[in-house]
Amino acid sequence: MQLLSKNSYTLYRTMTLRCACYIIETVERCVLVDTSMRFEKDLVAKSIDTTKKKKIDAIFLTHSHTDHVANAQCFSDVYHCKTYISEKGIANMKKGCCAMPKGTTLFSKLISKVGPKIPFYQFTRFQACPAVQPLNDEIVRLFLGESSELIETPGHTNDSVSILFDHNVAIVGDAMVNNFENLYPPFADDEKAIIASWHALLETQCKMFFPAHGNMVHREKLLSAYKKAARV
């Protein structure tokens, strides 16, 4: 689904339900941000086919949780492209595993506790990506142009990053959600860091924030949530 088209780029959202992935298409390149769960692989591929280029040149991962990285190696093989993640996430990608995230609500705390004990729910395991490369500002600008940048937005995980482009748009992974009018993620390994990451995002010029769960967040809504959470 096409979301935006301006200033020599087009932004698409994949037709996935578990995890919203994004495709950023510029004049020269096409980048897939996150890859969702294995069972949604075909939906991601169909979304790539809706772009003008019908292929991807690189995969950027916002963090190393299974619902974001499960198809990374598969798409890397199919499209003959490299996969990138922050330096802190490389070890998880090479091992093909991640830690179960900590819950921030009563329900999510229960999921964190019982999830690893459910035989068919292997959230902490995914196909390893041994050739994964470090994602940094240089790589982001190489594929998305000089108006793009990478910032660390830890809290949900210690390896979480957000990808900014066109001085206006940010793809934020699980740094926030937009479900039931609540932006605070139901899972976070460091809750204080979430608030600090929101502050870092508000320090940018971005007006639109695209999370992996829920709809786009306007700057005004994030600012209101930040003030409430930080009590400022």
- Output 96 or 112, whichever has higher pLDDT: 96
| Per-residue pLDDT reduced to its tens digit, 38-95 | 999 999 999 999 999 999 999 999 999 999 999 999 999 999 999 999 999 999 999 9
Cβ contacts of residue 160 below 8 Å, gap of 6+?
A: 62, 63, 86, 152, 153, 154, 173, 174, 175, 197
pLDDT for 119 equals 59
| Per-residue pLDDT reduced to its tens digit, 98-111 | 998 899 988 888 87
81/73 Cα distance (integer angstroms): 10
Look at residue 115 and tell me whether its pLDDT is greater than 80. Answer: no
The reported pTM is 0.95
- Output 169 or 1, whichever has higher pLDDT: 169
pLDDT for 191 equals 93
